[in-house]
């Protein structure tokens, strides 16, 4: 569910709860002793909406909810007890409880959200630092992995995936080559062709990356994607020779993003290709290297969407400071 839909649904539930409590409370008479007891029980339900609003939306909306509940409750005190000032005072005294039920949980939930946001930001910055170090070691650039992450997230979004899956896939793309930390410099940085024995070493990096990430709870989904990032749609990739839908969707999306970045980036041995040339080359590898459904999604994206990511994460200078991803 998108954030906007989620907020709309919660607002409707909250409003419906308030209306239901108010109707039950107003429609339950205070005349007979039995009904009056039920009436008193029902009025305690007014504590519920401020707590719900605090948990879902935080302090500000919890206070707004307490205000709505207070207005409904004050009207009731004057309608049902028109000339009984003692009872009116007693009823209005309940209002303090509603505000307490809004302010205390609202403040605590806001504090919890701030701490979770700070924790997520710290995780993000730690991962970006690690990935930047890996990119510098292999490619003398800062931003290859961040561009690939953003291209992959763009593809995942247009492929219709939900927000949490997109984030997980983005992390997999960002960390795709983390296993290269286990590849010796003389192989990883070798400028001439690798020998067969060196290729065997190099081809271990997806599994090494998987082993590193699977131990980290919030990166378990990304770990599967890292394991499969060098597979090919026709089964000719490595390390497991997965084929078609056996390859996790995140890895199938990543493959297109990674090749697109390689084709459109400047390298010491080649100039960058244009967007149109890269699109044509990727199209030629549909069904062999790439999932045709992913290529279809890729082809439907406007060139400007890719260009804005390339410009944001342009490798102009190795001393350029890190930018957190969007």
Applying CB under 5 A, does 135 fall inside the site for Fe ion? no
Q: How far is the CB of 320 from Fe ion (least distance, A)?
A: 23
Of 121-129, 175-183, 196-204, 304-312, which part binds Fe ion (CB under 5 A)? 175-183
- DSSP label at residue 268: T
Q: 177 or 261, CB closer to Fe ion?
A: 177
Q: How many angstroms separate the CA atoms of 120 and 133, rounded?
A: 20
Q: How far is the CB of 296 from Fe ion (least distance, A)?
A: 25
Q: How many angstroms separate the CA atoms of 65 and 53, rounded?
A: 7
Q: How far is the CB of 103 from Fe ion (least distance, A)?
A: 52
- Neighbouring C-beta atoms of residue 54, cutoff 10 Å: 26
Mask for 55-94, x = binds Fe ion (CB under 5 A): ----------------------------------------
Q: 105 or 179, CB closer to Fe ion?
A: 179
Q: 228 or 286, CB closer to Fe ion?
A: 228
Q: How many angstroms separate the CA atoms of 216 and 208, rounded?
A: 14
Is the separation of the CB atoms in 260 and 282 below 8 Å?
Answer: yes
Of 92-100, 174-182, 216-224, 275-283, which part binds Fe ion (CB under 5 A)? 174-182
Applying CB under 5 A, does 231 fall inside the site for Fe ion? no
Q: How far is the CB of 230 from Fe ion (least distance, A)?
A: 6
Q: How far is the CB of 162 from Fe ion (least distance, A)?
A: 26
Q: How far is the CB of 241 from Fe ion (least distance, A)?
A: 16
Give me the helices (H) in the chain, please. Answer: 3-27, 33-44, 48-57, 59-80, 85-139, 144-158, 163-174, 185-188, 196-202, 205-213, 220-227, 249-264, 275-284, 292-299, 303-312
Number of residue whose CB is nearest Fe ion:
177
Is the separation of the CB atoms in 48 and 21 below 8 Å?
Answer: yes
Is the separation of the CB atoms in 73 and 43 below 8 Å?
Answer: yes
Applying CB under 5 A, does 177 fall inside the site for Fe ion? yes
Catalog residues that contact Fe ion under the rule CB under 5 A: 177
């Amino acid at each position: 569910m998108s954030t906007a839909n989620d907020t709309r649904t919660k607002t409707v539930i909250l409003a419906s709860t308030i209306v239901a409590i108010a109707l039950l409370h107003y429609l339950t008479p205070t005349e007979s002793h039995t009904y009056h007891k039920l009436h008193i029980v029902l009025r305690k339900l007014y504590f519920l909406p401020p707590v719900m609003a605090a948990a879902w939306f935080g302090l500000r909306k919890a206070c707004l909810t307490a205000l709505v509940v207070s207005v409904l409750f004050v009207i009731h005190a004057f309608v049902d007890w028109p000339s009984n000032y003692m009872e009116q005072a007693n009823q209005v005294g309940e209002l303090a409880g509603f505000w307490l039920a809004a302010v205390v949980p609202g403040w605590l939930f806001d504090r919890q959200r701030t701490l979770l946001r700070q924790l997520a930001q710290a995780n993000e910055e730690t991962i970006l630092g690690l990935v930047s170090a890996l990119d510098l070691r292999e490619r003398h650039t800062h931003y290859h992995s961040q561009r690939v992450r953003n291209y992959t997230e763009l593809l995942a979004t247009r492929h219709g995936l939900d927000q949490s899956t997109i984030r997980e896939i983005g992390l997999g793309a960002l960390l795709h080559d983390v296993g290269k930390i286990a590849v010796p410099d003389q192989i990883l940085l070798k400028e001439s062709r690798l020998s067969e024995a060196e290729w065997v070493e190099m081809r271990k990096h997806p599994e090494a990356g998987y082993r590193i990430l699977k131990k980290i709870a919030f990166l378990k989904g990304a770990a599967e994607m890292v394991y499969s990032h060098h597979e090919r749609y026709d089964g000719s990739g490595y390390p497991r020779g997965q084929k078609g839908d056996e390859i996790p969707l995140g890895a199938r999306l990543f493959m297109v993003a990674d090749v697109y970045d390689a084709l459109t980036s400047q390298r010491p041995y080649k100039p960058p290709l244009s967007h149109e040339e890269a699109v044509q080359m990727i199209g030629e590898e549909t069904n062999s290297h790439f999932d045709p459904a992913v290529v279809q999604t890729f082809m439907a994206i406007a060139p400007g969407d890719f260009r804005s990511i390339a410009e944001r994460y342009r490798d102009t200078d190795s001393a350029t400071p890190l930018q957190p991803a969007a």
